[in-house]
Chain A
């Protein structure tokens, strides 16, 4: 805990400073609150409005977790398939990259036409934004396995499966986790975007309602909720990373 405080006070200070500047300038320049509400107003709405919007948050969390899990599984399976079958990789890798060039905003309404307003199109959107970072980071992790260790395993008589399970998979874990971190934050975005499509609850819905009735303070509440959710997911992934990767030299990445 002590360490967290020690490492966290600088960014925290910057954030607090930003809020103070924001607060002061909105009173000083008398900015109307429908244009840009002061942090204090946003805070008031956030506290007072909790009973009105908390069910939206739960719904988004649920959607995110489901979508993210499916995205992870798909991403990992794609990565393993591409890695174990080099021919398939050659054929499908470009397609995978192309899939990321489809603008989600354009694709989303199409998905609604095809799959209706249920869970299906939403989960497809989240999966689509999630699986790519995971698949790419896992494939890279598999491929960057040290040749030395592969040679050792081969000479020791390891089968292809053993080389994969005992060497390439654990070797790819750190890289895989960087992919997971990116995907975790993307998945919250994906969930909110997919809620815009048409849903009856979720932060995305709350946000659309707020902006169409010029409740800018609520829009900001939604924005902060999204940020907090992203942070929470990120933290969960980091704790999992700590749990799974105990062997890395201590102090790596710590700035002194």
Chain B
């Protein structure tokens, strides 16, 4: 049960406005994607939600509580995997829960198995491929105790097939406990396949451009990727993004 309200967020770096008056809400158990051109400020928005730095104006509320500038209230997968090189895969994914008490090693092992990383428990990050590292970072945020998850392009380094596998897996896990997810991606298809709602950001500065409600019923199967309706959505969102370039 976690609802995130983003309210009139503004942020500039060195007089250059990056985010301009961004407001939206992620409802409890909702899966929302952020689409926007590179450099539009998506990662910056995550850093602000996570309290890394404070917005120039505006506030964030999680379950009605103001979390602006407060750290540790969301679980987060950074755009670069940011794994600790001296920790094994297993130790890495338990880091998030370790910060708040006792990590559950059994659960961690099960999750690794499910993410297709079984047998890599004791490997070090440098022994993994880029895509595997991303998956580890993703599992780490799933195992973190916070109930609101922010994912910054978690699958960008994966090949088409693995990516689809991971998307299906994410949907399955998400379907089980329905944590709220805010998801950044560059892929329109990925956004449509996963999300309840897609928010399109313009760039320079980022403003909220448009919202799309994706009506496909859940649970979703991969065959919707080939339907007329899916293509129609893809076209529409593509047009929207194209105008931004």
Contact = CB atoms under 8 A, between A and B. Distances in A.
Interface string A158-185: 1000100011001101000000000000
Contacts of A245: 86
Contacts of A247: 85-87, 124, 126
Contact of A155 (B76, B85, B86, B124): B76
A154 interface: yes
B187 interface: no
Contacts of B50: 154-155
Interface residues of A, number: 20
Interface string A133-173: 00000000000001011011011111000100011001101
A155 B74 contact: yes
Interface string B75-117: 1101010101111000000011011100000000000000000
Contacts of A249: 126
A150 B238 CA distance: 36
Contacts of A248: 126
A245 B85 CA distance: 10
B47 interface: yes
A156 B86 contact: no
Contact of B99 (A148, A157, A170, A171): A157
B78 A152 contact: yes
B86 A152 contact: no
Contacts of B74: 155
Interface residues of B, number: 26
A171 B72 CA distance: 22
B89 to A, nearest CB: 11
B235 interface: no
Contacts of B87: 247
A247 B125 CA distance: 9
B11 to A, nearest CB: 16
Contact of B78 (A148, A162, A167): A148
A162 B51 contact: no
A149 B84 contact: yes
Nearest to B124: A247
> Which of A146, A156, A158, A248 has the most chain B CB atoms inside 10 A of its CB?
A156
Contact of B52 (A155, A162, A171): A155
Nearest to A249: B126
Contact of B84 (A151, A157, A170, A173): A170
Contacts of B144: 156
> Which of B96, B99, B100 has the most chain A CB atoms inside 10 A of its CB?
B99
Contact of A166 (B51, B71, B95): B95
Nearest to B49: A155
B204 interface: no
B167 interface: no
Interface string A169-204: 011010000000000000000000000000000000
A156 B99 contact: yes
A158 B50 CA distance: 12
A171 B87 CA distance: 11
Contact of A157 (B71, B85, B86, B126): B71
A195 B71 CA distance: 55
Contacts of A146: 82
Interface string B34-64: 0000000000000100111000000000000
Q: Which 5 A-B pairs have the closest CB atoms?
A: A157-B72, A155-B50, A152-B82, A247-B86, A247-B124
Given A148-B78, A156-B144, 8 more contacts: A148-B82, A154-B52, A155-B72, A156-B99, A157-B73, A166-B84, A171-B86, A249-B126
12 contacts: A148-B78, A149-B82, A151-B78, A154-B50, A154-B71, A155-B51, A156-B71, A157-B100, A170-B86, A247-B86, A247-B126, A249-B126
